[in-house]
């Protein structure tokens, strides 16, 4: 499985261009602005002469600055200012008011409505260019900052997702795909603590493939790996609840944790696993007397409490596994059935 590493934000930022939108019904003003800007290769010039189309045009073009006439047929510039500022797509776009009047009251009202600048039209070309670039550059910096923050949030989300995947992979056995010893240890501790709180039984099955060394010596390690995978699949098949866990404990040994499960329930699962693997009839001709791959399982059940530890449960299941091996293999033995003198 491959994990995508987020790119460098500096390499992913959009290169914004200065884009001017003039909103003015006088074509003579449109032409004058066009001539002012025509030699500026870094500036795009757009215009609209109908007030009712101004907002939609601004939304579609996403200009870096709007040059807005104050007096237009059908609407005034102040009304359009309010529309820009109440729309999520244009609320941050700088607006420079163009007016024929040098009036302090008009200026004050324009700024109170959200204008960023006020010019008596038409100013000197150099001044106009300076103001266009000043407001556009400030807006572009804001856009790039917002984009960088968005990229950072997306990167953090991707990294968080990647970390979750890595944690999952770190908890899995590479060969069989089931949980590994680390995950077993973590889960055993958590379920032991939960059993203490809720006073519920916790069962553990220690599972070992019989005569596995003979199998590897006879058929080779690739066949041995396949045998381990098939055994893991058999064990997983008999788990019915999300909290149940099967793990590769080490080598040809597996472990199954069954929370909230009494001894009888754990033995039912163990016997079913033993029976199912034997029925697969995986040849192991040196495994006398059956000549097929089989399992031995030790089962132990405890209600976690003071004076006991997870190690006590593991030790009891190991003792039961030892008894299963010495009792003829291909069987499950409950630790509770072992005489205390034998334990």
Active site residues: 252
Joined together, the tokens standing for residue 179 give 């949980």
Q: What is the pLDDT of residues 182-221, one digit of tens each?
A: 999 999 999 999 999 999 999 999 999 999 999 999 999 9
pLDDT at 2 (0 to 100):
36
Structure tokens of 325?
A: 């091996």
The radius of gyration of the chain from alpha carbons, rounded to an integer in Å, stands at 38
In the chain, the percentage of residues whose pLDDT exceeds 90 is 69
What is the pLDDT, as a whole number, of residue 10?
A: 42
- Quick one: average pLDDT of 25-43? 91
**Rounded distance between C-alpha atoms, residue 229 and residue 216, angstroms:** 14
| Predicted local distance difference test score (pLDDT) of residue 340 | 67
- 189: nearest Cα among 205, 172, 202, 178: 202
127 has which bridge partners? none
Any idea how long the chain is? 343
The C-alpha atoms of residue 210 and residue 278 are separated, in whole angstroms, by 11
The vertex-127 CA angle with 83 and 20, nearest 5°, equals: 40
Q: Which CATH number applies to 181-337?
A: 3.30.70.270
Asked whether the predicted pLDDT for residue 175 surpasses 90, the reply is: yes
Is residue 289 a contact partner of residue 174, using CB atoms and an 8 Å limit? no
Domain ranges of the chain: 9-148, 181-337
Per-residue confidence (pLDDT) for residue 9, from 0 to 100: 39
pLDDT tens digit sequence for 80-130: 999 999 999 999 999 999 988 888 898 999 899 889 999 998 888 999 999
Q: Same topology for domains 9-148 and 181-337, yes or no?
A: no
3-state secondary structure (DSSP) of residue 283 = strand
pLDDT at 169: 66
**pLDDT tens column, 240-260:** 899 999 999 999 999 999 999
| Domain at 9-148: CATH architecture | 3-Layer(aba) Sandwich (3.40)
How many CB atoms lie under 10 A from the CB of residue 55?
Answer: 18
User: Where are the strands (E) in the chain, listed by range?
Assistant: 18-23, 43-48, 65-69, 71-72, 75-76, 95-99, 117-120, 202-209, 245-250, 253-259, 295-302, 331-334
End-to-end CA distance of the chain: 46
């Amino acid at each position: 499985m491959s994990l995508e590493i987020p790119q460098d934000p500096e390499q992913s930022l959009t290169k914004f261009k200065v884009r001017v939108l003039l909103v003015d019904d006088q074509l003579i003003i449109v032409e004058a602005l066009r001539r002012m800007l025509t030699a500026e290769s870094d500036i795009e010039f757009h215009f609209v002469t109908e007030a009712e189309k101004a907002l939609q045009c601004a939304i579609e073009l996403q200009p870096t600055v709007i040059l807005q006439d104050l007096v237009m047929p059908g609407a005034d510039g102040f009304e359009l200012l309010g529309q820009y500022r109440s729309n999520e797509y244009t609320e941050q776009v700088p607006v420079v008011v163009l007016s024929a009047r040098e009036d302090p009251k008009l200026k004050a009202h324009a700024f109170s409505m959200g204008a960023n600048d006020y010019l008596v039209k038409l100013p000197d070309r150099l001044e106009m260019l300076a103001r266009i670039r000043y407001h556009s550059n400030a807006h572009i910096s804001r856009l790039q900052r917002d984009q960088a923050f968005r990229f950072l949030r997306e990167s953090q989300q991707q990294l968080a997702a990647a970390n979750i995947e890595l944690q999952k992979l770190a908890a899995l056995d590479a060969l069989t795909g089931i949980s590994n010893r680390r995950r077993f240890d973590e889960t055993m501790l958590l379920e032991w603590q939960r059993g203490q709180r809720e006073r519920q039984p916790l069962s553990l099955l220690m599972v070992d493939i019989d005569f596995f060394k003979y199998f590897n010596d006879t058929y080779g390690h690739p066949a041995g790996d396949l045998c381990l995978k098939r055994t893991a699949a058999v064990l997983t098949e008999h788990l019915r609840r999300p909290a149940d866990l099967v793990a590769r404990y080490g080598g040809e040994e597996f472990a199954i944790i069954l929370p909230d499960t009494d001894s009888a329930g754990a033995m039912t699962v163990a016997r079913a696993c033993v029976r199912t693997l034997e029925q697969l009839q995986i040849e192991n001709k040196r495994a006398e007397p059956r000549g097929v791959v089989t399992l031995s399982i030790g089962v132990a059940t405890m209600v976690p409490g003071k004076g006991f530890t997870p190690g006590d449960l593991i030790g009891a299941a190991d003792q039961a596994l030892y008894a299963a091996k010495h009792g003829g293999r291909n069987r499950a033995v409950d630790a509770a059935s072992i005489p205390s003198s034998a334990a």
